[in-house]
Amino acid sequence: MLADKRILLIIGGGIAAYKALELIRLLRGAGAAVSPVLTRAGAQFVTPLSVAALAGSPLHQDLFDLTAEAEMGHIQLSRAADLVVVTPCTADLMAKMAGGHADDLATTLLMATDKRVLIAPAMNVRMWEHPATQRNLARLRADGVLVTGPTHGDMACGEHGPGRMAEPADIFAAIGAALHDGPLKGRRILVTSGPTHEPIDPVRYIANRSSGAQGTALAAALRDLGAKVTFVTGPATVPPPPGVQVLHVETARQMLEAVEGALPADAAVFAAAVADWRVAQEATQKMKKDASGLPVLAFAENPDILATVSRHRLRPGLVVGFAAETENVIAHAQAKRLRKGCDWMVANDVSPATGIMGGTENAVHLITETGTENWPRLPKTEVAARLAARIAAHLTGQPE
Ligand code: C5P
């Protein structure tokens, strides 16, 4: 089931650390390779020998050991995994993760990884309910960290309530889900996102107000359904989601090149706000304010990436465009769907009064060959989840 998957397992310092041993057994039984890391506090609860013996792989404990020539560097160790799992994740570890600390091996690996992170929190009820922990939890979730548990129950400290670490079987199931075991497993999906920057000279550029929030949420939702996502993003303000292949670009022409390089794909979603025009002649030196008067910029048309891919010899089976409009939203988007040759168009009104561009909510219409659906105003993450489910249903032929 998890054959060939590599799990970097960080064991924090809590009484629930003993459950990590059972988790290692389950993971190895399912064919996964486990690379264990034991924090200094974790070593107070389980012995390095038992962890290494069960994992059947070297145990890592010290950041500075990894600088030794024969050892794997911490960057490499954090990248070689398919998933990073923290069990038990203590209140202190959560705080360090939320704050971006990197003062030991575990926290450094967590900062250096480009993979998804799943935590199984475990702590005393009061510590779990403390506003600081809840703040950190919200921060970590917003950063894309997956969380399993804690559950309610009797705790080793004698209290009762939430804070008990999830059982090894539940953490094991959460690991399976995080490793792309959804309906889109094995499918490749391309998502474009963010604005493009079109240079005027080496220091100036033309841009737009796209934050990349909707495209980022969509890439994450497709990933959560098991898709292998290639995320081509312009200079967005929202960071790209973990667990997808990220290709950073600046201009529309670079975006087209990256997109064509990422084909073939099963589906492609074009959520980027691509600049329609670029400055025809980018100045090689910074333009100066001088006596010769105001500069006049001549424009050239950018390639239309969506239209190009819709007519490409490697056209994905499903091509979805976005239409950001400020008037006659549905009519313009219906015409655009036909003009660009895509299958679906997700249309929205980006007039400043809607607060949609750069905001956290979106109100969209889904335009397909068979008609137009008006979706309610929803958080962008919810729009993304619904659209991802529709894409999955379309690709797999299974109802949502
Ligand atoms: O800007 P426009 O309204 O034409 O954008 C509609 C759709 O076309 C969006 O999905 C956008 O990502 C895509 N597009 C593109 N390349 C362009 C312009 C727009 O892929 N040059």
Separation of 231 CA from ligand 1 center, angstroms?
16
Going by alpha carbons, the residue nearest to atom 9 of ligand 1 is 322
At 188-245, the pLDDT tens digits run 999 999 999 999 999 999 999 899 999 999 998 898 888 999 999 999 998 888 778 9
φ/ψ (deg, to 5) at 328: 40, 50
Separation of 376 CA from ligand 1 center, angstroms?
23
**Residue 324 CA: which ligand 1 atom is closest?**
3
φ/ψ (deg, to 5) at 364: -120, 160
Q: Can you name the residues that pair with 365 across neighbouring β-strands?
A: 347, 374
At 148-168, the pLDDT tens digits run 989 887 777 788 888 899 999
For the cut 70, the answer to whether the pLDDT of residue 308 exceeds it is yes
Q: How many other β-carbons are positioned within 10 Å of the β-carbon of residue 371?
A: 8
Going by alpha carbons, the residue nearest to atom 19 of ligand 1 is 274
CA-nearest of 118, 340, 348, 113 to 218 is: 348
Contact between 168 and 18 (Cβ < 8 Å) = no
Going by alpha carbons, the residue nearest to atom 2 of ligand 1 is 323
Residue 81's pLDDT is 94
Separation of 322 CA from ligand 1 center, angstroms?
7
Mean pLDDT of 298-309: 98
Alpha-carbon distance of 308 to 310, in angstroms, equals 5
Task: Please confirm, yes or no, whether 89 is among the known catalytic residues.
Answer: no
Domains identified in the chain and CATH numbers: 6-178 (3.40.50.1950), 188-284+293-396 (3.40.50.10300)
Pairing of strands 228-233, 245-248: parallel
At 54-93, the pLDDT tens digits run 999 999 998 877 655 456 677 888 889 999 999 999 999 9
At 10-24, the pLDDT tens digits run 999 999 999 999 999
Q: Which of 132, 156, 157, 203 is labelled catalytic? A: 157
- Lining ligand 1 with CB less than 6 A are 192, 252, 270, 272, 274, 276, 302, 304-306, 321-324, 336
Give the Å distances, CA to CA, from 238 to 219, 309, 361: 12, 25, 14
Going by alpha carbons, the residue nearest to atom 4 of ligand 1 is 323
Q: Can you name the residues that pair with 199 across neighbouring β-strands?
A: 205
**Residue 276 CA: which ligand 1 atom is closest?**
21
**Residue 340 CA: which ligand 1 atom is closest?**
8
For the cut 80, the answer to whether the pLDDT of residue 363 exceeds it is yes
Find the angle CA(295)-CA(237)-CA(259) to the nearest 5 degrees. 80
Residue 395's pLDDT is 96
Contact between 256 and 297 (Cβ < 8 Å) = no
Three-class HEC string of 33-51: EEEEEECCCHHHCCCHHHH
Provide CB contacts within 8 A for 45, sequence distance 6+: 13, 14, 15, 17, 18
The structure tokens listed for 261 are: 């390089």
Mean pLDDT of 103-130: 94
Mutate to test the pocket of ligand 1, among 196, 274, 332, 346 (most ligand atoms within 8 A of CB): 274
Mean pLDDT of 241-262: 94
Alpha-carbon distance of 250 to 19, in angstroms, equals 46
Separation of 321 CA from ligand 1 center, angstroms?
7
Separation of 324 CA from ligand 1 center, angstroms?
9
Mean pLDDT of 294-316: 96
Going by alpha carbons, the residue nearest to atom 13 of ligand 1 is 306
Q: Tell me which residue has tokens 């424009």.
A: 299
At 376-391, the pLDDT tens digits run 999 888 899 899 999 9
**Residue 346 CA: which ligand 1 atom is closest?**
10
Long-range CB contacts for residues 381-385, cutoff 8 Å, separation at least 24: 381/217, 381/220, 381/221, 383/214, 383/217, 384/214, 384/217, 384/218, 384/220, 384/221, 385/221
Alpha-carbon distance of 82 to 20, in angstroms, equals 18
Separation of 380 CA from ligand 1 center, angstroms?
19
**Residue 302 CA: which ligand 1 atom is closest?**
21
